[in-house]
Amino acid sequence: MHKTRAIKDRLFTLYILTTSTLALIPVLHLIFVIVIRGFDSFVEGGIKFLTDVPPTPLSTELGGIGPSLLGTLILTATSLPITILIAFFAAVLANEFPNNPISKTVDIISRSFTSIPTIVVSMTVYLLVVVPMRTYSAIASSIALTIIALPYAYAITSAAIRQVPLMYREAAYSLGMTRWTTIYKVVVPITRRMLSGCVLITMARIMGETAALMFTAGRFRTGISLQLDRPIDAIPLLIFDYALTPYPILHKVAWGAALLLIIIYFIIFLAVKTIVKEVKL
């Protein structure tokens, strides 16, 4: 009897390991393909791949993805902080006042909006921002990205704050801390690992979003633009446009761009994971 239990246990462990690996294989394969195909572009382009303008079908040189890279960085730098701040603020409030009708509404809305089709957001922001401004812009793109990223950020932050055990709050109150000091000095620091995870997930979402930029960004690829009220480009948009053409040189650039996006994200991911230490409850 004891033996069959042990065997069953081993079999089940094996089953879990196998299915988990199978689930991971598509992702690993994807990363593998991007690395193989994108690596060529890096080698051929060198450091200029990060600064030059993209090639055209008749180009002989590989060029680079300078404008798109800068655009992605600018858009991330503008949407990410705003998204995190709003989501954080809303999550804290919803947690402190759970019975408030506003908190309940925010909860319901954010849950339904996590699966909103992003092209719809793009069209809406187009009508609300691009048409009145009469131009594509980085602002319109940031707004679209923020709208799409907010429900995720809110859901994760809200879950993180909710799972802080009540007893730490009570301890803080018993010491004489006000509601907000408690949040700032006790609740938030305890969730720092989850919050940093939230920031990473939101950042991934923003950096990789394509449909949101379709009608809002403007695809400014001839040079560098730092103006927020003018057209801008982004790496996923470049990849999308170039992948749909039949020209090999444009495909090469697209693969290189995809690899670059993964590398940038991976670096930031590693940095955050090592710096923010786990809080052992």
Partner 1 sequence: MVNNKVIAITAIAVVVIAVVTGVITLQTRTTQPTATITQTITQTVTQTVTRTVTQSPQTVTVTVTTTLTPTTPSTPSIRGLTLNGAGATFPYPQIMEWIKKFYNRTGASINYQPVGSGAGLSQFFQNVTDFACSDPPLKRSDWEKYRGNVMQVPFIVGAVVVVYNIPELPTGYNLKLSGEVIAKIYKGEIRFWDDDAIKMLNSDVANRLPRKEIIGVYRSDSSGTTEVFTTYLNKAAPNIWGKDLVGKTVDWPIAKVGRGVGGSGNPGVTQAVQATPYSIGYVEWSFAITNKLQMAMVSNKDGNYLLPSEASLKDALRMINMPKSPLDDFSHTLEEVVYAPGPNTYPITSPSYIIMWRTYTAKEKALALSEFLKWLAIDGYRDVVPGYVAPPEEVIKLLTTASDILRQ
Partner 2 sequence: MNNLIHAVELRNVSIFIGKTPIIKDVNIEIPTNTVYVIMGPSGSGKTTILRLISRLIDLVPEVTVSGTAKVLGMDVLKVNPYVLRRHVGMVFQTPNPFPHMSIYDNVAIAAKINGVAANKEELDEVVKSALTKAMLWDEVKDRLKDYPHTLSGGQKQRLCLARALAMKPKLLLLDEPTASIDPVNARKIEEVIKTLKDEITVIMVTHSPHQAARVGEYVALIYNGGVIEQGSVRDMFLNPRTEFASRFLRGEI
Q: Which residues are at the interface with partner 2 (CB under 8 A)?
A: 99, 165-178, 181, 185-186, 189-190, 192, 279-281
In the list 31, 35, 73, 93, the residue contacting partner 1 (rule: CB under 8 A) is 93
Q: Which has the closest alpha carbon to 236: 154, 141, 152? A: 141
Are 149 and 126 within 8 A, CB to CB? no
Footprint of partner 1 on residues 203-262 (CB under 8 A)? 214-215, 218-223, 228-231, 241, 243-248, 250
Nearer to partner 1 by Cβ, of 131 and 267: the residue is 131
Are 215 and 135 within 8 A, CB to CB? no
Give how far the C-alpha of residue 257 lies from the chain's centroid of Cα atoms, to the nearest Å.
17
Q: Rounded to an integer, what distance in angstroms lies between the CA atom of residue 177 and that of residue 54? A: 56
Q: Which does 177 bind (CB under 5 to 8 A by kind): partner 1, partner 2, none?
A: partner 2
Q: Which does 245 bind (CB under 5 to 8 A by kind): partner 1, partner 2, none?
A: partner 1
CB of 95 to partner 2, least distance (A): 13
Nearer to partner 2 by Cβ, of 244 and 278: the residue is 278
Q: Which has the closest alpha carbon to 234: 79, 96, 14, 11? A: 79
68 near partner 1, judged by CB under 8 A? no
Q: Rounded to an integer, what distance in angstroms lies between the CA atom of residue 279 and that of residue 191? A: 8
Rounded to a whole number, what is the distance in angstroms from the first to the last CA of the chain? 38
Are 244 and 173 within 8 A, CB to CB? no
Nearer to partner 2 by Cβ, of 127 and 279: the residue is 279
Contact string (CB under 8 A) for partner 1, positions 136-175, x = contact: xx-x------------------------------------
Give me 30's structure tokens: 């994807």
Helix (H, G, I), strand (E, B) or coil at 281: coil
106 near partner 1, judged by CB under 8 A? no
Count of Cβ atoms closer than 10 Å to residue 257 Cβ: 27
Q: Which does 280 bind (CB under 5 to 8 A by kind): partner 2, partner 1, none?
A: partner 2
Quote the DSSP letter at residue 185: I
CB of 169 to partner 2, least distance (A): 8
Helix (H, G, I), strand (E, B) or coil at 52: coil
Nearer to partner 2 by Cβ, of 159 and 175: the residue is 175
Q: Which does 137 bind (CB under 5 to 8 A by kind): partner 1, partner 2, none?
A: partner 1
Whole-Å CA distances, 180 to 70, 87, 92, 169: 38, 17, 10, 11
135 near partner 1, judged by CB under 8 A? yes
Nearer to partner 1 by Cβ, of 220 and 255: the residue is 220
Whole-Å CA distances, 268 to 14, 73, 196: 34, 12, 11
CB of 158 to partner 2, least distance (A): 19
Footprint of partner 1 (CB under 8 A): 53, 56-59, 89, 93, 96-97, 100, 126, 129-137, 139, 179, 214-215, 218-223, 228-231, 241, 243-248, 250
